[in-house]
Amino acid sequence: MLLAEVTGTVVASVKYQGLEGVRFLIVQPLDRDRHPQGRQVVAADAVSMAGPGELVYIVGSREAALAMPEPFVPVDHAVVGIVDHVERPS
Amino acid sequence: MKIGRVAGTVVSTISHPIYDARRLLLCDLLDADGEDAGGYLICVDTIGAGAGETVLIIDEGNSARQVVGDLNAPIRAVIVGIVDELQVEGDARQV
């Protein structure tokens, strides 16, 4: 699982079966210092609450589909949590 | 499996239900010498690792699902051990 920042939303009215009602977000994966790392990807929103500007954590590959209500869907990245903050010992 | 060092705790109120009551730790990845390798992972902690500790990480979905005991869990990275020592080519290194 990696950190990412939500940068946008994707609106798709026609989707594969099982994806009805699923929100899609554009996310920018981040490195540990929260700098952009790699290309932006479209991720399904498994928490249904994430929005642009938020720091989230994402899963990829098979685990992304498992995060969805219907686990056999063509999803390769999913937002599985919204980060409140990261506690680092001083 | 990978070797990492616990750098902090990820606090998340809104998350997939599988993460409820599980600790999420941000771990910097290390190379075989115990030095910083540059990457990181957010891992589910199964053993009670603490900040600064060197840990053993599984970064593979099927294994992670077995560890957390839920074969449909959307979890990929799990901490499964705390490393005491690394031995590389005969040289032991406390970490």
| pLDDT tens string A5-64 | 999 999 999 999 989 999 999 999 999 899 999 999 999 999 999 999 999 999 999 999
Strands A41-45, A77-82: pairing kind? parallel
Strands B2-11, B36-45: pairing kind? unpaired
Which residue of chain A is at minimal alpha-carbon distance from B64?
A63
Q: Domain boundaries in chain A?
A: 2-72
Comparing CA positions, the residue from A88, A45, A83 lying closest to residue A64 is A45
Q: Under DSSP, is residue A24 helix (H, G, I), strand (E, B) or coil?
A: strand
| pLDDT tens string A60-83 | 999 999 999 988 999 999 999 999
Q: Rounded CA gap, B1 and B63, in Å? A: 10
**Do B79 and B9 form a contact (C-beta atoms < 8 A)?**
no
State the architecture of B2-87 in CATH terms: Beta Barrel (2.40)
The band of A89, judged by pLDDT with boundaries at 50, 70 and 90, is confident
Closest to B14 (Cβ–Cβ): which among A60, A81, A89?
A81
Model pTM above 0.80? yes
A32 contacts in chain B (CB < 8 Å): 7, 26, 28, 39-40
Instruction: Please list the helix, strand and coil fractions of chain B in percent, rounded to the nearest 5, in that order.
Output: 10, 50, 35
A31 Cβ contact partners less than 8 Å away, ≥ 6 residues apart: A37, B40
CATH of A2-72, one of 2.40.50.220, 1.10.10.10, 2.60.40.10, 3.30.565.10: 2.40.50.220
Best of A25, A31, A63 to disrupt the B interface (most B CBs within 10 Å) is A63
Cα–chain-centroid distance for residue B30? 11
- ipTM of the shown complex: 0.86
